[in-house]
Amino acid sequence: MTAYKTQYVKKDKRSNRTISFWAVCKSLRPNGSIFKQEKDEAPPLYNQVEVEVQVPHLVSFDTLRAKGSSFLLSSRESSRLAFRTLVRKYNCDLCYTPMIVAADFVRSEKARDSEFTTNQGDCPLIVQFAANDARLLSDAARIVCPYANGIDINCGCPQRIHDDLARTVDLCRKAEATGVSWITVHGRTVEERHQPVHYEAIKIIKENMSIPVIANGDIRSLKEAENVCHITGTNGVMVARGLLANPAMFAGYEETPLKCIWDWVDLALELGTPFMCFHQHLMYMMEKITSRQEKRIFNALSSTSAVLDYLTDNYGI
């Protein structure tokens, strides 16, 4: 759907890039977070221009299925804008935000500014909320719906199976009856952490559902993703830790290529990623390509400049 909105633009003196965002009743800050306003008024230092933009729409699962249905599952703070942008470059079809507490998001402008960041290229995007109050969940969804393609209700990061599988099947059927578009199932019980994933259980759930089902759990390569889809008959896979270690996994790489590390550096700096997040992601990505001694040195670095110097000296990045 096409509509006319208001764009605000400003020249960033440091980078010499033009920064812009859109506004209707709520809009995006230049860094992507929500900017609250009562009417279409440009903030100080911004010029107002009318432009034609594309309004986000709900994701069609059939569209995703045609592309292979590879999802990035948010993992605490790891699925913020810069990392979502990175995995999209390497064939990830759809990304989720980190889990956001709906009550805090609705009540606190500070929470909205810190928890939700996006831009025009961050699509398709599912915003993940945790809530036990339907009204607060609805209010939170209304705030983000102009900037997202769907809303996810976190029921266990994602829903884990019960020891009595019939109870899980019943829960999934109840969710289906409410009109949800798809369900993601993690193939372990609540008590299980590192035990093998029960893919047969996911298969049984899939066989009892009419809507798409996504499999999650211990998927660390493209081949494993394909095998899980084959075993379970599910419509796609969702990955968390596997993509942290190798953001290029869905592009077929067995370990993180240097180009991907370079891409992460560029994106993280461009989007203003905090140092702790920037550094932590590099630790994950370089796990398989660094020795124990190299890890000790790299993990102890405490500034962006020190990290950049290390990468330049050791990897030519």
**Residue 129: strand pairing partners:** 100, 153
Tell me how long the chain is: 317
Number of H helices, E strands in the chain: 13, 14
**Residue 3: strand pairing partners:** 53
- Which contiguous run of DSSP H or E holds residue 153? strand 150-153
Q: Which residues are catalytic?
A: 157
- Which contiguous run of DSSP H or E holds residue 143? helix 134-144
> Up-side HSE of residue 282: CA atoms within 13 Å toward CB?
35
CB atoms within 10 A of CB 253: 16
> Which residue bears the tokens 């999934």?
172
Phi, psi torsion values for 91, nearest 5 degrees: 75, 20
**Interior angle at CA 71, CA 67 and CA 75, nearest 5:** 170
Contact between 70 and 92 (Cβ < 8 Å): yes
Distance CA 276, CA 268 (A): 11
Phi, psi torsion values for 233, nearest 5 degrees: 75, 15
| 234 token code pair | 């599910």
CB atoms within 10 A of CB 217: 23
Provide CB contacts within 8 A for 131, sequence distance 6+. Answer: 101, 102, 103, 137, 140, 153
